Structures are given as C-alpha cells and as structure tokens.
Structure 1
Amino acid sequence: MSLADENADEENPYLREPPTEFDPIEKLPEKRAREQVALLREAVREHDRRYYVENDPIIADRTYDALFARLRELEDTFDLASPDSPTRSVGGEPIEEFETVEHVTPMLSIDQSGEPEDVRDFDDRVRREVGEVEYVCEPKFDGVSMEFVYEDGSLERAVTRGDGREGDDVTANARTIGSVPQRLHGDYPEFLAVRGEVYMPKDAFQAHNRERIERGEEPFANPRNATAGTIRQLDPSVVADRPLEVFYFDVLEASDLEDSHREELERFPEWGLRVNEHVETVDDIEDAIDYRDRMLEARDELGYEIDGTVIKVDDRKARDELGRTARHDRYAFAYKFPPRAEVTPIADVAVQIGRTGRVTPVALLEPVDVGGVTVSRASLHNPEEIAEKNVAVGDTVRVQRAGDVIPYVEEVVEKGAENDPESHYELPDHCPVCDSAIERDGPMAFCTGGLACDAQLRRSIEYYASDDGLDLEGLGERSVRQLVDAGLLESVADLYELEREDLTALEGWGEKSAANLLAEIEASHEPPLADFLSALGIPHVGPTTARELAREFGTFEAVREAAEDEPESLEDVDDVGGTVAEQIHDFFASEANAAAVDDVLEHVSPKESALESGGDELEGLTFVFTGSLEELTRSEAQETVEAHGGSATGSVSGNTDYLVAGESPGQTKLDDAEAEDVPVLDEDEFRELLAEQGIELG
C-alpha cells in the first residue's frame, strides 16, 4: 500500500510535518537505526512520487533535504546501503564500460510521416484489419528512449534502446534521475518492463548550456544530444549533477497486463511512474489529426522538446492482431511536426570570455533548423550590435549562418510579450567566471581579470599548446581544463613545473600519457621564434604575422623592445598595420602580460630567426603541413615557403597545391587532401621539390 493512505500517517512520522531534528547518530542502537532507515526510505520514495509524478509535494524542499541527509548518514554509519535506496540518486562509483543487455521484448520504432494523408492511410489499414478502434494520442518526446525493468517492485535494470534488440545497461546512471523510482508504489505487478523517454527540460538545458559556455566548454546542440551524452557517462555522479527527467509511456511486458493502453497509463502514477499530462483518447482519426495540430501550436509553451505526436491503438487485443514488422509496431503511427525554420525565441543569453578577455554574448535559442542544421545558439557579436538590433531575452528572432558555418541573429521578428519595445539585453558589469569588472572599448567589451580569470587562463594555455602555438600533443581543451581545475596550472609557465606524479594522480592519466606530455613540454624549451610569438596569444598576431615579425627582428628581445619603445617601427613589417602595432604595444605594456611572459622565459629560450626573404620561386603555390618533420619544425618549413613567395595555410582546400605530411599526420587533413585531389608529399619529396627550385632547406 502507498503511504498516501490515511493509516500510513500514523505508522510513518516522516510523511506529514516530519521532524527534522534527530537523535545523535552515536547514541542510536543499530536496531533503531534499521527501523529509522526503513521509515525514511519509504517516506522519501513517497515524497519523490508526490514531487515528480503528482506535482503536489506535501513538505518543503528544505525538509525533504533534511530527511534525505539523515537517511544517507544512517546508511553510511551503519553500513545499510541498498541498491534501491533513494540515496542512490546521488551517484555511485565510476564504471569502466557498459554491459550490453538484451531487451525483455524488442523496442521497435514506429512508422512516421508529416503528411495528414499518411495518417489517414494508417487509420484505413487499422480499421480494415481489426474494425472500429479508439486511439490514444501522446506527445512524441525528443529524448532518449529506454527500458526500465522492475522485479517485485524494485528497479532491476535500465537499458538504452540500442539497436532495438539490445542496449547498454545504464542502471547506475538511471538511479540518479529523480523521476525514476527505485521502488514502485501501490499494487504493482510482480514483473514490469516499461518504456520511458529520458529528456532534459528546456529551461534546464539552456541553464546547463549557459554554464558550459561560461566555463569555456562546448555547449550541446540540443536537449536530445545533451540527454544522450549524459546518460552514457561512465561516472554516475556526473549524471546526478545534470537535470534529467523521465516520462513513461508504454508497457513492454508485465506479469499482469491491462486490457487497454489507456488503463495502463492510468495505473502508472499509482506505481510512481510519471505520465505526461497531455495524453488524450479519441475515437476518430480526424480528432487525432486535430490533436497533433493543437500540440504543434502549444509546442513552444511546453517545458520539454517534442517533434510530433504518437497515435496508438488503445485495445491490447487489437494491437496483438496488428502485430509488427521487422522494424516497427503496426499499431502506432507518429505524426511529425515540420522542423522549426530560422525563426525561434531567445531563451537566454550567456557570456563567453575569450583568450584575450573579449566578452562575446551568445544567444541560447530554442533549437531551430537553419539550412538543414539544428542550431541552438547564435552569436550576438558585441553590445553595440545588440543595441542596434534591439535584442532581448524572450524575443523571437531570425537566425542565419554566416558563410553557412557560424550562426548569428539577423533580426528581431517579434519582441517578447513581457519586453519593453525599446528594451535590449545589457551585458553584466562583472565577469561571470572571475567576477572582475567588464569594461567597454568602443563596440567591444573585455573582462579585466587577465590570467586571473580561469576562462582566459585556460584559453591562453590551450592556445600556447595548439597547432598555432608550440603544438604540444596531449594538451587539448579537456586536459587543460582538468589541470587548471586540479590547481596544477595557474599560469602558462606552470606547464614547465609539471611532474609525472602530478599527472598520474589524475583520472584518465597513465604512465604513458604522462610521459608523452612531459616529453612534448621538454622539447619546447627552445622553440622557433615565430612559434613562440604566435603562442603568446598577442591579439591579431597569428602564425603568419608572427613569422613576419620573426623575419624582421630576428630575436624575441628585439620584438619586445620595438613593441615597448618604438611601436611605430612595427608598422614597417608586412602584415602589421597601425591597429595591429597598437595591439602588440598594449600587450607588452600590460604589467600582467609582461610578468606572465617573464615567467615563461624562465623556462624557454626562443631560437633566433635567421631566415631572410628569398626570391619568388614558390609564388602562386599554397602548402599545408601536418605531422612532425624530422629535421626542422613545421614553423621553419612554413617560413621557408613564405620567404620564397609561397603561402602556408592551416587547412586543406581546393586552393591547396601540396599537403606535406610528416610523422603522425592529422587524419582530417589527409582525408581533405584526398577529397580535394591534393598531392601529398613526405618530407623527402618536399625537400626534392624545393631543391628543383634551387631552395636549400636546413
């Protein structure tokens, strides 16, 4: 029986107006602890059902937290942990890999279309084969479908849909989701396998993406991707920190089946299984079509993503008669929505902090189709453009893709209902990452935190180690974030203080990966000058400009002296104008940057650049380099090409003449070269090509 029964109130003191002050653990006999654990588990399950299923909690959140904390403390102290305890929702130990499990019964797909005539054809076939029927109409959730198996009321396993026959056992992760009951309530079947849809609510998705953007992480494209990426995490505690929910919508198998689908759904809440509130029963296919049109109109008001509606035959006997094909059940049909196209509301705005401190506002959108690609965020560029376009959270906007790549907000189509017609989004006064002041510089805005801002620090280290910097293998976005979060990197110079023990103590690092990274760092103590200048992340100084500076000045000290004392002399360098010269001057004039550079120079001695401009033997030819060359660096090879009139670029395109591939080349560049029919040269062939033009390579 459920604790909702009146007699249960007398038996369990933790249901209504529960006490939140408890006897000290050390004074509690084990027998009394076991009794209290049983009562608390039962009460917490009931409060979970009230909250997640009934949407009618009977205690305050802080009271629930106190009960939950007491239960966890008792389980830990008296070693009373149980797989179906509500405390499992906080996550367990990481696992090495998921086990593949066969489903109780195949989880097939359903036929679908966005055309009403196809829906009517489905109805004609059903009525021809089984006669008059009623249909149950439900939203078609855009999440991750899963099988949940309960034995004697306890959650035995949760399995992803996989290929429909078998999927991944993600039970440990499913236990962390609040709307997944560890034990069923009421008069439940001895065996029950149900199908549910795990999803991330739209507001939670936007909040989660906002946090990712502000931490410098790549946001998820849409709630479904966020859900799929979360449910397959190997660490349940990560899943517990992410906002997932579940709707249950079908019985796959049970020891006691109802006669109709509608009756099954009516029983679900009694067992603690959450059902969507928009389920309807109709006896005419035109009513089912009308239901879909109403749900399409209501789509943007829902707290979760749906991409259509599902029409199911209600009667179980008729379902069995209709049967299934190898791919889908024949008793159901999905009436799909058209994709949202270009026009969509702004749900929120996140602030992204770049490597140089530049603040970029990013619009978080209700996912929309733009040129066949689902877009959930778009650049707002800068505060001046936001003011010009009068963009605010809640406005409906038109989204385009610049060069078919970067999404941006083109215009406001309709102001939000609660927005003043002249209102627009204003940047915060302080950085969301480090709380330093945000200052305006013309149309732009910048965080003043410098390398004290974790976002700028991470991006500075990432850039220092990137292909455009010193090309340190093993230092990507994820590993840099891990090292910064662990307190091992508080500056770029700290890279040179890393020890093997520092790395191997971190999750995911073994002896080999640690040794490889330390070897990369060791090899970077004497980098080519151009590589070092580029790696510093001076605004507007990328690899090409860095090579021109190296060629002109020869040493790092000469570049720095010119930048500090004679910035006008920088304008004599090819590829450097007045604006770039001013940026270089400002970079070295900054006390914080000067100190950071000095710290790096304690470990690094950039090589002098001896290359001077040669002839025009390679004029008109474009080279791309990948992998490690044996007797010189990629930067030196690029300098040579450019010194003799050629171009060296970072990516392969139809304009590339040669891809030079050294050791461990990047597969993407090789694939692009094959697709564009670009010749691939090894290092010896590259040397021969230069020799034919009379160019000697050191």
Structure 2
Amino acid sequence: MSDDAADAPADNSYLAEPPTDFDPVEELTEADAEAQAEALREAVRYHDQRYYVENDPEIDDRTYDALFSRLRDLEEAFGIQTADSPTRRVGGAPRDELPDVEHVAPMRSIDQGGEAEEVREFDRRVGEGLDSADWDGEIEYYCEPKFDGLSVEVVYEDGVFERAATRGDGTVGDDVTENVRTIPSVPQRLRGDYPEFLAVRGEVYMPKPAFQAYNRELVERGDDPFANPRNAAAGTLRQLDPSVTAERPLSVFFFDVLDGWEFDTRWEMHETFPEWGLRVCDRTQVVGDIEAAVDYRDARLDERDDLDYEIDGVVISVNDTDACDELGTTSRAPRWAFAYKFPARSEHTTVRDVVVQVGRTGRLTPVALMDPVEVGGVTVSRASLHNPAEIERLGVDVGDEVRVRRAGDVIPEVAEVTEADGDGHFEFPATCPVCGSAVERDGPMAFCSGGLGCRAQRERSVQHYASRKGLDVEGVGEERVQQLLDADLVDDVADLYELTVDDLTDLEGWGEKSAENLLAELDDAREPPLADFLTAIGIPEVGETVAASLARHFGTFDAVREADEDDLQAVADVGPTVAHEIRDFFDSEANRDVLDRLLAHVDPREAETTTGDALDGLTFVFTGSLDGYTRSDAQDLVERAGGSATSSVSSNTDFLVTGSNPGQTKRDDADDNDVPILDGVEAFESKLREYGVDVED
C-alpha cells in the first residue's frame, strides 16, 4: 500500500473558514498560481469527501463554489490543470461512440430469488459446500441493499482515477471514464493508505429526489420522463457528451473489490473503503445466521419508500473471504452470494410531486410524478391527472398513496386515492408556472392566458410550426428549438426567418452547411398553402381538416383573420366552440404582434374557394392511391364543389372511391352499408361530371 496520504495538509488555509477574497489572477506569478492551485485542489478534495462520502460538510455551498471557481480560473489562466483535478468533473470533449474496454476481473451476476425458502436453500448449499471443504469457521452473512442502478468498474493507479467501464457482458463493457469522472462522489484521487493498484465495483444511481426533480424538468418542457431512476442513470452514464452527464444528478455506492487488495472479511472492506474516500451504504450489516438475513431483508422492504435511493432487494454474502474462496464461483455467478428480491410494486404507489405542464394552446395539464410502479407489465413513474376538476374529484395531493391504471391500456392515470396524506388536495396554481400569466378556467379545463407571450407556448408553437403537421421545415426539431430559445435567437415563429448563418454557426453543433440548409428550408416555407399555414400557426381546435375548410371558404388569410364568429360558423366543420377559439386566438394582442411580424416574411398562397354546390349533401370516402391525384387533391375537389370528404364509411356515405391497393375494411363497410363503389380515377371523374363538376382532362 502507498505511504502517500492524499488528505489535505493541516496547514491548508482553505479548510476551516477559508478565505474567498482572492487577488486578481493577472497579478499572480506562475509559481504563486501553481502553489495556490495545488492547495485549492487538496481543499476541494477534502470538502468533497466531507460532503459526498461522510455527509458532514464543513463549509457552505457558496464558499465551496468560490473555491472551485478560483481553482478553475487559475488552471485556465496558467494552463496548469492536472489529470486528477476536481475541475475535470465538468466534462470532457464529446465522443462519437463509447469504445469497449476489458475488465481487470470478471463482473459476475448474482443468483436471485424472491422467496424466503430460496434464501434458506442458498444457506443449505453454503453449509454443504464449506463442510465438504473441511472449513470449520463460523458462517456469518454480510447483508447490503441491492441498488437498482448501473454497475461499473472503477480503476485507480497510484491512487489516481484512471478509467471506468460499465458491466457490459461481465467481461467487456463500455468505456465511460469521462462520464464517471463527472460524478461528485467518485474521488479523483484516493485518500489515506491506499494500494498502488485498485479496481473496485460500484453502483451508479440517480437519487430519488433528484430523479423526481429531473423528471419534473422533462415534463415541464414537454419531453417524456424516465420510467425509473435506473433508466435515468443508465441513459445519463452512456451520454456521448460528458458535459451532459455532469449536469445530471448522479451518485455512487462502492461495494466490492475486483482486483488490487484482499480483505479478511467483507465487513473489513466496508469499513476501509471510506478511509480511501470511497462512498459506502450505511444500511449494511453483518448477521449471524440466515434467519437474521431474512429479517434484514424484511426491514429494508419496510423502509424502502423512505430511502433516497431505489433498491429492489438485498444481497446476502458470506462475510469471510476465505470461505468465499472455498465456495468459488460458477461460470456466471459466485456460490457465496444471493440476491433476495423484493416483490414488484404493482398499481399502488405514492405521489411525490405534481407538475403542471403547459401545452401549445396554453392548456394546463397536471401530471403526477410517482415512485415507479408496474402497471399492466409496464413500469411507469408519471400519470395524468387530466385537469383541475379531476384533481378536486379525486382529492389527490402530494404524498398520497394512489392506485394507477392505464387508460385504454396506454396512458397511465390516477384512478383513486387509497391513502390520503393530508385533508385537502393539490391546489392548482392561479398563475402559469412558466410565464406567470393568469390561469383561466373553462369548465373543467385550465388555460394560460399568456398566449405566445408564454415561453412554453412559444416553444411548442415553434416546434408545431416546423413539424410535419405544420410547414414541414426540416432541421427545426425539439432540441434545436430549445437551443435557439436558450440562445435568445428565437422568441417565436417570426424570428425563425431572421436567423443568419453567423447566428447558427456560433451555436454548439452547427456547421456552415447545416446552417445554410436550415435557412434554405425556411426560404422554401415563405409562400405556404393557406391551409398549411393555418394549421402551422397553432390555432386551438384547428387541425388539418378545419384549416382546409377555412381556406376553401375564405380564400385568403386576411379574410380568415377578420371573420367574426357568425362568419366562421358558416364554414363546414366549424361550430360555436371552434369559432370562439379562432376568434380568441386572433384577438390576443400577443398573437397579433407575432402574426404581424411573421407576415413580413411569409405570404400564404391564396386558396381556391368553393366553386359551387353541385355536390351539396353528398359524402365521399377515399381509399388507395388515385393516379394523378393526391388524397388531399381529391378531397379538395369534392369539397370545393360543396361536398364532404370523410375518413370512414358509414350509412351516410354516398360514394367510396377506390384506387390502387385499397383498404379491404372500407370495401367491406361499403358492401355492408350498400354504398356504391367508384373504382378508379375514371369512375370518380365520370361521377363528378354527372353532377356538373368541371374536371380538367
């Protein structure tokens, strides 16, 4: 073992009550900077140990941040960063892929079971195995929680963090060195009397409070949250960009030696790890027999929900390492360890938070974030609460135990409160959680009144504008929109048309070619069809069908924009509710401002309006591909002549028009309802001529 202790020296001035009023960096000599940086590195390592391993910090967060920032400034100004500097936790350069790395020793899995009798059978095998080896010592069991995270190998050489890898297939894993380096509880340099070479096994996990907070961020910005902390940890650790890993809250427990040092007992290892700066779990115990190990598991099951990390069972190992050597291993698992699993949580769980999500139209949807639970074979950690009225009906609040079901076997929702933590229910906010605008109630629903002045609505509106349902602008996906808003380059859809190549190439991940491609896509979207434009700007209740009807009826955007509710209700597919939503959208001052600026760049093409009522009262359905027509072209032709085009056949359908590769279901429905079938383009056009519709040859 090394005699070089890595502890900060007693005379280091940055330990107790450290000064944070530093001289300007430019006034230091290189020698002074080197000396101060080394003292700061030792102090930061010391404070990391106190905070992350011993849970007993000596300084507040602001003081720690000042020391860390000073160290980073010195290293950047003088180019003196070391391989084991704490500042390397902020992440390295992104990788194209995670290369493979071979483990120094196999990382085997563990036999497991969920019944007490299986544990007792494990104990019987241990006893027989040691008897046959003439081992006459006392059998004790080392019991520890089975962490539900991602197992990693971490290697130290001369006490300095060298590399890290995922378990992979047990022999070869992914090289996640730079990602693991960013985890605060993984020491960059060991402390105390450490061995020259050490390979240890740890479990990387995301603490439950941090998991819920991170999922809250994802839900608030409209992204899908992680199903459970394990998935969150695994996805974070396998990021190609270590700076992304550094931003996410990961931690680690160390629990085994793979190579480099031997202990007499596993308990001795457990006590020694913290002396080296390696974090261990304080729920570990040594017990005298297998029944005490079963009791240990039951106690961990009882406290499972109160822990700030996820566990799915306990691991029971023979404590004496000589006994472990006598028992040996199979090709896949040690004979001296057994994982006693917990039963899966099913349907009943606890609400840990309620997040109010703001949609594109301003609708506020409350979402319950919960302890992960298995519902219909799928693990879920969020469930819809639908609207404020549903919260009031259920009487649900944070901390309540609830039963979760999957609505339509797809969307998880809270079905009922099974154990209330308090007397009331979650109080729905009176203001938008994103922009602070007043929340307006419309029956059971709630809406943000901020319109496009709300960041969430702006973000969703930009995404929708560029989506396939909008103007199909390639290169403006969810992540790019967030990046553009964060850089203050885009505040709303109008700003897209004011972007320059220089604006984009200044952002991470953009090259000149990708910038030019995006601007070319936007140029192609400066004269969109009116129906597409009406869909793209995100008017509530106006999808593709209603937008097409508005375009055919009014012809120009100005006509749609100025129409009153009575005029709007004269349009097919537009009732009182839709007309009111359209009028509200155009009456919003924030929306008018954005539209005026948008129209300085975009000129929606005038649409062909309805040419007559020759097909008034007739309904057509289309299936298959019509030679010379797109589906929307054929529908437009019918609707401009006063007819209707619907998607399904019913007794109200007058004609089914079939092209090549038609759907059999629609043909069967037509036969069942005695609906005439027009087979092919010629039959379709011939029928239109019968009714006096002018069809171009």
TM-score class, shorter: 0.7 to 0.9
- Cα distance in structure 2, aligned partners of 1:234 and 1:66: 29
- Cα distance in structure 2, aligned partners of 1:308 and 1:368: 15
- Gap change, CA 1:532 and 1:25, over 3 Å in 2: closer
Give yes or no for contact 2:204–2:252 (8 Å, CA) kept in 1.
yes
Structure 1 residue 297: deviation in Å? 1.0
Identity among equivalent pairs (%): 60
Give yes or no for contact 2:201–2:256 (8 Å, CA) kept in 1.
yes
Matched, 1:583 2:589: no
2:357 counterpart (352, 359, 372)? 352
- Code of the residue aligned with 1:387 in structure 2: it is E
- Code of the residue aligned with 1:474 in structure 2: it is G
Structure 1 residue 193: deviation in Å? 0.6
The 5-angstrom pairing of residues 132-143 of structure 1 reads 133-143=139-149
- Cα distance in structure 2, aligned partners of 1:175 and 1:390: 45
Offset from partner CA, 1:137-186 (integer Å, 9 cap, x none): 11111111111000010000111222222222222221221101000001
Q: TM-score, normalised by structure 2?
A: 0.86
- Gap change, CA 1:122 and 1:465, over 3 Å in 2: same
Offset from partner CA, 1:51-76 (integer Å, 9 cap, x none): 11111222333332332233223222
Structure 1: gaps of 5 or more residues: 650-655, 662-672, 679-686
- Code of the residue aligned with 2:431 in structure 1: it is H
Equivalent residue for 1:297?
Answer: 302
- Gap change, CA 1:191 and 1:633, over 3 Å in 2: farther
- Cα distance in structure 1, aligned partners of 2:627 and 2:377: 44
Aligned to 2:535, the other structure's residue is in SS state helix
Q: CA RMSD in A?
A: 3.2
- Cα distance in structure 1, aligned partners of 2:597 and 2:222: 25
Give yes or no for contact 2:438–2:450 (8 Å, CA) kept in 1.
yes
Equivalent residue for 1:608?
Answer: 607
Offset from partner CA, 1:233-280 (integer Å, 9 cap, x none): 2332222221111111111111x3112222111110000000001111
Matched, 1:320 2:325: yes
Offset from partner CA, 1:476-498 (integer Å, 9 cap, x none): 21222222222232221222333
Give yes or no for contact 1:640–1:697 (8 Å, CA) kept in 2.
no
1:216 counterpart (214, 222, 226)? 222
- Cα distance in structure 1, aligned partners of 2:12 and 2:226: 44
Offset from partner CA, 1:388-431 (integer Å, 9 cap, x none): 22221111112122111222222211122xx3x1x221233433
- Gap change, CA 1:3 and 1:532, over 3 Å in 2: same
Equivalent residue for 2:120?
Answer: 120
Equivalent residue for 1:92?
Answer: 92
- Gap change, CA 1:690 and 1:290, over 3 Å in 2: farther
Structure 1 residue 99: deviation in Å? 2.4
- Cα distance in structure 2, aligned partners of 1:426 and 1:190: 58
- Cα distance in structure 2, aligned partners of 1:505 and 1:36: 35
The 5-angstrom pairing of residues 114-513 of structure 1 reads 114-131=114-131, 133-254=139-260, 256-416=261-421, 419=422, 421=423, 423-513=424-514
Give yes or no for contact 1:393–1:425 (8 Å, CA) kept in 2.
yes
Equivalent residue for 1:35?
Answer: 35
Structure 1 residue 198: deviation in Å? 0.9
Structure 1 residue 201: deviation in Å? 0.8
- Count matched residues: 657
Give yes or no for contact 2:356–2:366 (8 Å, CA) kept in 1.
yes
- Gap change, CA 1:505 and 1:616, over 3 Å in 2: farther
Structure 1 residue 23: deviation in Å? 4.2
Aligned to 2:471, the other structure's residue is in SS state coil
- Code of the residue aligned with 2:538 in structure 1: it is G
- Gap change, CA 1:11 and 1:536, over 3 Å in 2: closer
Aligned to 1:109, the other structure's residue is in SS state coil
- Code of the residue aligned with 1:471 in structure 2: it is D
Equivalent residue for 2:675?
Answer: none
- Gap change, CA 1:384 and 1:3, over 3 Å in 2: farther
Offset from partner CA, 1:92-142 (integer Å, 9 cap, x none): 333333222111112222222222222222222222222463221111111
Aligned to 2:334, the other structure's residue is in SS state strand
Equivalent residue for 1:532?
Answer: 533
Structure 1 residue 316: deviation in Å? 2.3
Structure 1 residue 648: deviation in Å? 4.5
- Cα distance in structure 1, aligned partners of 2:258 and 2:37: 33
Give yes or no for contact 1:9–1:16 (8 Å, CA) kept in 2.
no
- Cα distance in structure 1, aligned partners of 2:358 and 2:430: 13
Give yes or no for contact 1:195–1:250 (8 Å, CA) kept in 2.
yes
Structure 1 residue 335: deviation in Å? 1.5
Aligned to 1:130, the other structure's residue is in SS state helix
- Code of the residue aligned with 2:582 in structure 1: it is I
- Code of the residue aligned with 1:179 in structure 2: it is S
Aligned to 2:335, the other structure's residue is in SS state strand
- Cα distance in structure 2, aligned partners of 1:290 and 1:660: 69
Give yes or no for contact 2:627–2:681 (8 Å, CA) kept in 1.
no
- Code of the residue aligned with 1:392 in structure 2: it is D
Aligned to 1:328, the other structure's residue is in SS state coil
- Code of the residue aligned with 2:498 in structure 1: it is E
- Code of the residue aligned with 1:588 in structure 2: it is F
- Cα distance in structure 1, aligned partners of 2:345 and 2:623: 41
- Cα distance in structure 1, aligned partners of 2:35 and 2:339: 49
- Cα distance in structure 1, aligned partners of 2:30 and 2:478: 49
Give yes or no for contact 1:529–1:609 (8 Å, CA) kept in 2.
no
- Code of the residue aligned with 1:488 in structure 2: it is L
- Cα distance in structure 1, aligned partners of 2:59 and 2:432: 37
Structure 1 residue 616: deviation in Å? 9.9
Structure 1 residue 350: deviation in Å? 1.4
- Code of the residue aligned with 1:605 in structure 2: it is P
Structure 1 residue 621: deviation in Å? 5.2
Aligned to 1:110, the other structure's residue is in SS state coil
- Gap change, CA 1:240 and 1:632, over 3 Å in 2: farther
- Gap change, CA 1:318 and 1:528, over 3 Å in 2: same
Offset from partner CA, 1:624-679 (integer Å, 9 cap, x none): x9xxx998777446646888765459xxxxxx999999xxxxxxxxxxx99x9x9x
- Cα distance in structure 2, aligned partners of 1:337 and 1:642: 61
Q: TM-score, normalised by structure 1?
A: 0.86
- Code of the residue aligned with 2:232 in structure 1: it is A
Offset from partner CA, 1:16-63 (integer Å, 9 cap, x none): 333333444344343333233222222221221111111122233333
Equivalent residue for 1:74?
Answer: 74
- Cα distance in structure 2, aligned partners of 1:549 and 1:117: 70
Give yes or no for contact 2:535–2:544 (8 Å, CA) kept in 1.
yes
- Gap change, CA 1:552 and 1:57, over 3 Å in 2: same
Give yes or no for contact 1:524–1:604 (8 Å, CA) kept in 2.
no
Structure 1 residue 304: deviation in Å? 0.9
- Code of the residue aligned with 1:484 in structure 2: it is L
